Each structure stands twice: as C-alpha cells, then as structure tokens.
C-alpha cells in the first residue's frame, strides 16, 4: 500500500484529466471584456477604442489566489506552491442583430457554444474617446435578447423533428421528458426570458444540456465602472443585481485600474490597490466567481516538497479526486485520509492532527468538500 500526499510522490505517468470547463467573457464592443481577459490571464490580446478589435476567440488561464493554500504552504514549509487556475475565453464582441448574423454574430455565437458558463461584461464608465453603450442595464438587455433569439431559432429548428420522433417512439420516457423540457424552454424564451433566470427546474435544464442552448449556462456579471464610480458602487450595481436576481453574481470592477495594477510587480500592485482602499483588488474576486460558476471546487495536498490546489467538479467522489492527481491513484484507490483546511491549520501539522484523532478515513462513496486536505491510500 502507498500513500500519496503531494504530486511529487505519485507514480510516473500522465494524470487523468477531466474535460476542461471554460468561462466565456461576453460583452458589447468597447465594454472592456478584452482588457479584463488580459488582466486576468496576463495575455496581450489587442485592445482599441473601436468595435470588433476582438474578431477571434482568445483562450487563457487565470491563477486562482487562495489564502488557504498559502497558509498550508507556510505550515508545511513547502518548497513549491501550485495554485489552481480557471480557463477563460475572450469571445468576439456582440451587437444588436448578432442572432441573425449582424456584426460578427456567427463567430460570436459559435464562441459561446464552446464554453460552459458566461461572464457578461457590462460597461458603466463614461469616456468620450471610447464609443459604446454606458448603461449596464441596456447592455444586459441587448446581450440577453440576442442570446434568447439565438436559442429560440435553435429550438424551433429541432422541435418539429423531436415531436415526430416522440410520436414514433411512444413509451420512450426519456424522449418524452426531453420534448416536454424543450416546449417549456420555448415558452420561457418566447417571453424574452433567458433560461439561466427562468422558472425551469434544475432537472429540466440539466435534461436540455445536450441541446447546447446559449442561455442554459450559469452566469456572472462584471460591471465595468470608472474610478469615480467606485466611491458609490451600489448606485451602479443595484439595478443589475435586481435584474439578475438570484441567478448570477454581480461584481463591480474598474477594469482599467485593475489592468494597470496587473502590469506591476506584486509589491507595487498591493501598494497601489491598498492605497486606493481596494484591498486585494477585484481580479481575485472575479477569478473565484468564474471558478465557482463553472462548478469547480478545490481540495489540497500539502507537504515539505509541495503544497498544491487541485480543481475538481463539485460533488466528485474521493476516487475521482484521487484521479485528478493521477490515474493510478483512482485505479488503486483504497481510502482517503481527510481533514478540513481550517482544522489542520489550527492543529499546526499533519502529524499533530493525526495524534489528535482529527484525520478521518473516508471510502469510495465520500464526496469531497471544498477545502478538504487529502492524503490518498492506494495500491497498484
């Protein structure tokens, strides 16, 4: 039997990988979406004050700052610290009429079909040198309308075929439930309601996943504010929060300021943000919101060689999480030694936690919780 606490102690070979979930950054031209993408990922996608600077999707990874991991690394005196990341896609800008091919409509819609969740960038800042919509509610309305119209067209092209197939395959419960869900979705969309803020039950939306509808994805909204608006952000954010309700997080960000700070070294960046009363800044909050909206959670491994944050799908079992580290760990999984990060930090070391009887032994049915620290027992 072998124990695996950190990646440096697992067998040689390639790790098992789940499909990468991605967050698509969507907005009207000159909303600041590409600047946000660059600030989060360190990329250099072109930015200019005119529409359609972004004509192709750009893909990048944003690191996920996590104070829990930093504390574990300090506790273990780790020589290496590896943070989790979130995959982002900067999608070509949308204009009114995109659903019928206006602007870069077809390219825009194709880009969205390849992501798992949406970040809607809504401009609120004023700048005479940068044309574009400055009412975030109006921007939200345009984005939602085009997404809804595209979904309606997609559904209508499939409904007749599905109805005929359902009549032929009488008694096929799965086909009947899918058709019922499609008709319910069509009713919501016809009323102008995107599926992410519809009244459809979660199980119905899950059933519709195979149709790749654009609005059947979770969302987070980033309102791009000017520096002058940071003093009273609620005045800008509250209308958007009211529109989205409980169906998506709303974050206020001065993207220009965050982009400038992101170009500085760590010490200067912290000094700038702290001097402005912004603490760690908004980018870590955006990265964490993106990570959670695509359904990712984090478990940790820690030791003197390495402390690492591992990304897993919410609800994954202990063997599945072992497979994130390495396929051999999942194949030969026996059980996992588990403790919550907060409890481990309170006790001061893995050995102290064991001596105190705080390390739990969990089997194959255990669903790993966000913030768990794991040591995998396996045999291959």
Task: Locate 310 and state its tokens.
Answer: 């591992």
What predicted TM-score, i.e. pTM, was given to this entire model?
0.83
Question: What whole-number distance in Å separates Cα of residue 315 and Cα of residue 329?
Answer: 18
DSSP string for 61-118: EEE---HHHHHHHHHHT-S-EE--EEEEEEPPP--TTGGGT-TTHHHHHHHHHT-SEE
- In total, the chain counts a number of residues equal to 380
Phi, psi of 84 (to 5 degrees): -70, 165
Q: What is the mean pLDDT of residues 96-124?
A: 72
Contact between residue 251 and residue 189 where contact means Cβ atoms under 8 Å apart = no
pLDDT in tens, 340-352: 999 999 999 999 9
pLDDT at 19: 52
CA end-to-end span of the chain, whole Å? 8
Least confident of 20-34, 35-49, 119-133, 232-246: 35-49
pLDDT at 97: 59
Residue 1 pLDDT grade (very low, low, confident, very high; cuts 50, 70, 90): very low
pLDDT at 319: 97
pLDDT at 51 over 70: no
Question: What whole-number distance in Å separates Cα of residue 257 and Cα of residue 267?
Answer: 16
Place of tokens 């409904």: 159
Place of tokens 């169906």: 247
Contact between residue 130 and residue 183 where contact means Cβ atoms under 8 Å apart = no
Residue 267 pLDDT grade (very low, low, confident, very high; cuts 50, 70, 90): confident
Residue 173 pLDDT grade (very low, low, confident, very high; cuts 50, 70, 90): confident
pLDDT in tens, 94-104: 766 555 554 44
The matching CATH number, chosen from 3.40.50.300, 3.10.20.30, 3.30.70.260, 3.40.50.2300, for 2-15+296-378 is 3.10.20.30
pLDDT at 44: 55
């Amino acid at each position: 039997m072998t124990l695996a606490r950190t990646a440096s102690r697992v067998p040689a070979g390639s790790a098992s990988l789940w499909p990468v979930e991605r967050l698509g950054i969507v907005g009207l031209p000159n909303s600041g979406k590409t600047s946000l993408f660059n600030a989060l990922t360190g990329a250099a996608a072109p930015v200019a004050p005119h529409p359609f600077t972004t004509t192709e999707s750009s893909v990048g990874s944003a690191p996920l700052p996590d104070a829990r991991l930093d504390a574990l690394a300090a506790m273990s005196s780790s020589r290496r610290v590896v943070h989790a990341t979130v995959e982002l896609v900067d999608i070509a800008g949308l204009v009114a009429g995109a659903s019928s091919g206006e602007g870069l409509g077809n390219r825009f819609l194709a880009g969205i079909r390849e992501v798992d969740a949406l970040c809607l960038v809504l401009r609120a800042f004023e700048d005479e040198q940068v044309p574009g919509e400055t009412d975030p509610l109006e921007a939200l309305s345009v984005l939602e309308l085009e997404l809804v119209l595209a979904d309606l067209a997609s559904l209508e092209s499939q409904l007749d075929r599905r109805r005929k197939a359902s009549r032929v395959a009488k008694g096929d419960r799965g086909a009947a439930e899918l058709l019922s869900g499609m008709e319910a979705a069509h009713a919501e969309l016809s009323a102008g309601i995107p599926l992410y803020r519809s009244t459809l039950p979660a199980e119905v939306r899950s059933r519709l996943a195979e149709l790749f509808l654009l609005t059947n994805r979770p969302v987070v909204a980033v309102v791009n504010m000017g520096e002058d608006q940071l003093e009273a952000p609620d005045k800008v954010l509250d209308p958007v929060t009211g529109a989205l309700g409980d169906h998506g997080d709303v974050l206020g960000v001065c993207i220009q300021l965050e982009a400038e700070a992101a170009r500085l070294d760590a010490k200067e960046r912290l000094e700038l943000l702290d001097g402005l009363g912004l603490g760690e800044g908004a980018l870590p909050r955006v990265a964490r919101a993106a990570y959670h909206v695509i359904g990712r959670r984090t478990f940790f491994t820690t030791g003197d060689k390495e402390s690492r944050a591992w990304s897993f799908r919410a609800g994954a079992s202990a063997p599945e999480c072992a497979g994130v580290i390495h396929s051999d760990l999942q194949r030969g999984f026996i059980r996992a030694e588990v403790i919550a990060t907060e409890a481990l930090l309170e006790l001061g070391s893995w050995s102290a936690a064991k001596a105190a009887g705080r390390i739990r032994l969990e089997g194959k049915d255990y669903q790993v919780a966000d913030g768990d620290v794991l040591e995998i027992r396996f045999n291959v």
